[in-house]
């Protein structure tokens, strides 16, 4: 049985990963869109994204679109894998209750 | 790290809710909106073609198609906003160019075969829209190919076997079918 992942289990990071793994592997989401989806502040999301990026679960791509800075975020292959393991661990807790 | 079953249940519910919200808001499943928009337009337009005079029907179709184009563009821009793909097939610009060329080719075919009856013209438009839908489905989401194929078959059946009620057929099965399918996809996702 896979263990729960402490980095991912924090509520905002859990919802962030849920949103990112819903996208196709070749898709990435704009910071503002993700912030609006999650209903959190810029600072709050930024802090949680840093934790996920440091863990290697997401990729953060800073670029310019029509001369304006944009930040795009996507789940990494490792991020998708550990998220799936975390979900499996949650499900096994429910099955064994 | 240990958590209680109720906390696990809460976390799973939160994940499920977020995934559903994301799919509806930004993923390609938002295509159901186009099915509903064009389903309503076909329903109203073909009912008009069945029951109103050709002069009024022509204006009605022009208004409905313009409205459909504007709504599709607005929803398309909103859908694409915030998400980008590294796949060249999914480039919004290329998709836009494809639909523009598809539209121009449809006009060219109508012009070449002019004079043409209302039913033939309706079939040209249906066939070009459906081949466009199927081409996009092959590139983006293979399962979306089925509505395109089913509507094409229904349109051909109505055109060749039921000419007297062709417009009514297309309103109910074509337009109505697209609305029902759009609502089904929305609820399923």
Q: What is the pLDDT of residues B101-112, one digit of tens each?
A: 888 898 899 889
Over residues B110-143, the pLDDT tens digits come to 889 888 888 888 888 889 888 988 887 787 667 7
More confident residue, A6 or A96: A6
**Nearest 5°: CA angle at B22, between A11 and A95?**
55
Which residues in chain B have Cβ-Cβ distances shorter than 8 Å to A37? 18, 21-22, 25-26
Buried b (16+ CB within 10 A) or exposed e, A16-35: bbbbbbbbbeebbbbbebbb
The residue with greater pLDDT, A27 or A59, is A59
Q: For A15-51, how does the pLDDT look when each residue is reduced to its tens digit (9 = 90+)?
A: 999 999 998 888 899 899 899 999 999 999 999 999 9
How much is the pLDDT for B188? 65
**Residue B10 phi, psi (nearest 5):** -65, -45
Helix boundaries (H) for A1-97: 6-9, 11-22, 31-38, 42-54, 77-95
Taking Cα atoms as reference points, which of B92, B87, B80, B86 lies closest to residue A59?
A: B86
Quote the CA–CA distance of A78 and A57 in Å, as a whole number.
Answer: 6
- How far is the CA of B9 from the CAs of A12, A42, A57, B2, B21, in angstroms? 16, 28, 23, 13, 18
pTM given for the model: 0.63
Q: Which of A15, A37, A94 sits opposite B8 (nearest CB)?
A: A94
- Residues of B whose CB is below 8 A from A27: 83-86
**Any A CB within 8 A of B52 CB:** no
- A58 versus B62: which is more confidently predicted? A58
| Mean pLDDT in residue range B43-71 | 86
* Most confident of the ranges A63-72, A82-91, B87-96: A82-91
Rg (CA), chain B: 20
Query: Residue B43's pLDDT band (boundaries 50, 70, 90)?
Result: very high
> pLDDT averaged over chain B?
82
pLDDT band at B27 (very low <50, low <70, confident <90, very high): low
C-beta of residue B30 within 8 angstroms of C-beta of residue B22: no
Cβ count within 10 A of residue B103: 15
**Which candidate from A18, A24, A94 shows the least CB-CB separation from B9?**
A94
Tell me which of B2, B4, B8, B189 to substitute to probe the interface with A (most A C-beta atoms closer than 10 Å).
B8
HEC string for B45-102: HHHHHHHCCHHHHHHHHHHHHHHHHHHHHHHHHHHHCCEEECCHHHCHHHHHHHHHHH
Give the end-to-end CA distance of chain B in Å, rounded to a whole number. 32
On chain A, the residues whose CB falls within 8 A of the CB of B89 are none
Whether residue B84 lies within 8 A of chain A, CB to CB, comes out as: yes
In whole numbers, what is the pLDDT of chain A averaged over residues? 92
pLDDT of residue A78: 96
CB contact under 8 A, A11 and B87: no
Region B138-162: mean pLDDT is 85
Cβ(B150)–Cβ(B177) under 8 Å?
yes
């Amino acid at each position: 049985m896979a263990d729960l992942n402490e980095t991912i289990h924090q509520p905002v990071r859990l919802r962030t990963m849920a949103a990112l793994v819903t996208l196709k592997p070749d898709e990435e989401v704009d910071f503002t869109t993700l912030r609006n989806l999650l209903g959190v502040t810029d600072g709050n999301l930024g802090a949680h994204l840093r934790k996920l990026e440091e863990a290697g679960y997401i990729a953060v791509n800073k670029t310019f679109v029509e001369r304006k800075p944009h930040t795009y975020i996507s789940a990494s292959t490792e991020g998708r894998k550990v998220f799936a393991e975390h979900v499996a661990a949650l499900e096994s807790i429910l099955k064994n209750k | 790290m240990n958590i209680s079953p109720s906390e696990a249940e809460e976390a799973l519910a939160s994940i499920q809710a977020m995934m559903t919200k994301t799919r509806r808001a930004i993923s390609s499943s938002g295509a159901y909106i186009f099915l509903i928009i064009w389903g309503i337009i076909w329903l109203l337009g073909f009912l008009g073609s069945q029951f109103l005079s050709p002069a009024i029907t022509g204006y009605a179709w022009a208004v409905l198609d313009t409205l459909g184009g504007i709504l599709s563009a607005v929803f398309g821009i909103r859908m694409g906003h915030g998400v980008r793909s590294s796949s060249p097939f999914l480039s919004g610009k290329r998709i836009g160019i494809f639909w523009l060329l598809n539209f121009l080719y449809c006009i060219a075919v109508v012009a070449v075969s002019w004079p043409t009856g209302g039913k033939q013209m309706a079939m040209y438009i249906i066939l070009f829209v459906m081949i466009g839908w199927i081409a996009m489905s092959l590139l983006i989401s293979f399962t979306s190919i089925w509505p395109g194929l089913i509507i094409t078959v229904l349109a051909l059946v109505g055109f060749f076997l039921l000419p007297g009620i062709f417009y009514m057929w297309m309103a109910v099965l074509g337009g109505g079918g697209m609305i029902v399918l759009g609502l089904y996809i929305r609820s399923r996702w």
